[in-house]
Chains A and B, each alone.
Chain A
């Protein structure tokens, strides 16, 4: 095993509701993230997917989440999650390599330069290590963000639509790369793309105003081929389910 592989991700159980002042963002719900697997949370904008993810990440929010979040190993999640957003959040004034070492530097820890180089290799950015993010393409930037996420070496990974701004081909490449590199960790992927959920989900959950609906993923193991018939069927069914919901259709 290469040392890049992470600690074993626990399963995580979320139970609770979210409110913005007196308005309910989502009703009481229960979601379990499978240990060491990808849970894809699919749904239209505005149903509270990101709110749920932020609650897991322990991020400040105007929306208040009340309820419980429990990991199967009984330890708190604080300090054990790594977060990747749609925007790459690379510091524009720092080189790619410096961006990878952001976490240790922010905690006042020593930077493991060897790990930085290994991760740069893993995401294919070695020759771009000294470049600033604005010299990179969108796909390269997202690869740098993925490497920075892995640098944190956390058992739980929270992905908030990290591939949605990429072109179709780069997106598929990133999905494969991320799935490969994040093996062994517990991943929550928030997405509005049925195709992405069908390719990557070990567990697929649709979130709507009415709550959560679990949908059985295709039988073959993720990541599934972009042209795999079963995956394409699942993608179509997910899309139909998303559209079916009368409240979403409005």
Chain B
């Protein structure tokens, strides 16, 4: 049912798009028709696939490191009062900085390769993952902690066997945000300086007034992002469902 809704919405959007192009007769370098974009996409499928693969690699590595650092940070903060005192202001401050503004400096430091894009993606997803998981770890139902205390539990065992499982629903929402943000991070990195990737391809096509190719690359990025989100949502669904049982 929801899948059907998505298809109807997509068809409606395409129809409106095509309608605007037909009615206004706008030049193709301003707004190409969906049909033209589809044609361009097919003609350039090898080129688009090659650049998609680069961007996808950046996204996945960014997710891997961003989620990894985020989870480790949240665990550290949850276990240590002094870590909270020292690190929380730093975390908030880094979040107050517009991360995008760091893109040029990352390119300067790490070059035009994958590294600067991965770091960009990591920077963008690190905070949502850390903050969502940390919140979950600090909101363990009090009764569970009371029970553990009467059982003479070791703090690390409480973390591993109660607090972490109870925080998985929160981590799941953090991961979903990360899946949405990671492609943004990778593409911004590519815009600032790259020789490969969908973001690079978009800039290149735009600069040469190949607006149809720009749209083809943009749509590909959109599809990659949506698929990634759906995979992450699917993979974390069990954790989210479990959240309802904790209330």
CB within 8 Å of B: which residues of A?
54, 57-60, 78-79, 81-83, 85, 87, 89, 91-94, 102-103, 105-108, 133-134, 152, 158
Contacts and interface: CB of A to CB of B under 8 A. Distances in A.
Contacts of A94: 165
A93 B246 CA distance: 10
A91 B160 CA distance: 13
Contacts of B147: 83, 85, 89, 102
B161 interface: yes
A134 B158 CA distance: 22
Interface string B152-168: 11100110011001001
A48 B157 CA distance: 31
Contacts of A54: 146
A89 B143 contact: yes
Q: Report which residue of B141, B144, B147, B157 has the largest number of chain A beta carbons within 10 angstroms of its beta carbon.
A: B147
A103 to B, nearest CB: 4
Contacts of A133: 245
Contact of A107 (B152, B242, B246): B152
Contacts of A57: 146, 149-150
17 contacts: A58-B150, A79-B152, A81-B150, A85-B143, A87-B143, A91-B144, A94-B165, A103-B151, A105-B157, A105-B161, A106-B151, A106-B158, A107-B153, A107-B154, A108-B154, A134-B245, A152-B151
Contact of B245 (A79, A83, A92, A107): A92
B243 to A, nearest CB: 9
B210 to A, nearest CB: 52
B151 A58 contact: no
A91 B165 contact: yes
Interface of B is mostly: helix
B49 interface: no
Interface in B41-81: none
A106 B246 contact: no
Nearest to A94: B165
Given A87-B143, A93-B242, A59 B150 contact: yes
Contacts of B154: 106-108
Interface residues of B, number: 21
A135 to B, nearest CB: 11
B146 A108 contact: no
A72 B150 CA distance: 20
A91 B162 contact: yes
Q: Report which residue of A58, A103, A106, A107 has the largest number of chain B beta carbons within 10 angstroms of its beta carbon.
A: A106
Contacts of B168: 93
B36 interface: no
Nearest to A88: B143
Nearest to A93: B165
Nearest to A98: B161
Contacts of A81: 150
B146 A83 contact: yes
A146 B102 CA distance: 57
Given A57-B146, A91-B144, A105-B161, 14 more contacts: A57-B149, A59-B150, A78-B152, A85-B143, A85-B146, A89-B143, A89-B144, A91-B161, A93-B242, A94-B165, A106-B148, A106-B162, A107-B154, A108-B154
Interface string B204-242: 000000000000000000000000000000000000001
A92 B166 CA distance: 9
Minimum-distance CB pairs A-B, first 8: A106-B153, A92-B245, A83-B150, A103-B151, A106-B157, A93-B165, A89-B143, A89-B147
A105 B152 CA distance: 11
Contacts of A85: 143, 146-147
Nearest to B150: A83
